[in-house]
Amino acid sequence: MNSKFNRFELIKSAIDSLDRSYAPYSHFNVAAAVLASSGKIYTGVNVENASYPAGICAERNAIFHAVACGEKGITAIAIIGGLNGQITDYCPPCGVCRQVMREFCDPEHMTVIIAKSTDEYKEMTLAELLPESFGPDSIV
């Protein structure tokens, strides 16, 4: 697990983005902040759509934001969320988001933080969340 980064800053970046979430159907707002290999932080929020499959999770939004800005490596992600934007519990990433994370990291060293606040959070590696994963190195 990557231990050399500012967890407070990463979690706060996610928290500060939460009010930009667009969740008029589920009312479950989620925000994520990704730490790229370059040291830059990129944020994303969930964006719902009346045609449900057309929406996107906050984690993928943040990762795709980083990739669109030229990043190819992710070292950490912080995820927060809750009903009507109230953070009352941990908000783990869905399976699709875990697989997208896997595309841009070393799962043994990628830190995934699920947080209630900057002081109350859990962290684990992506390998713990997505064991025996399939990734770019699987296609040889």
Residues 59-108 have pLDDT tens digits of 999 999 999 999 999 999 999 999 999 999 999 999 999 999 999 999 99
Residue 48 contacts residue 83 (beta carbons within 8 Å): no
Residue 139 lies in a domain: no
The answer to whether residue 60 sits within a structural domain is yes
Domains in the chain, number: 1
Domain assignment of residue 43, yes or no: yes
Which CATH number fits the domain that encloses residue 97? 3.40.140.10
Q: Do the domain assignments include residue 38?
A: yes
Quote the domain boundaries for residue 126.
7-130
59 is catalytic: yes
**What pTM was estimated for this model as a whole?**
0.95
| Active-site residue (options: 48, 59, 103, 120) | 59
Residue 140 confidence class, pLDDT cut points 50, 70, 90: confident
Percentage of residues in the chain with pLDDT exceeding 70? 99
Tell me if 2 is assigned to some domain.
Answer: no
pLDDT tens profile 106-123: 999 999 999 999 999 999
In a domain, 140, yes or no: no
Residue 125 CB coordination number (10 Å):
17
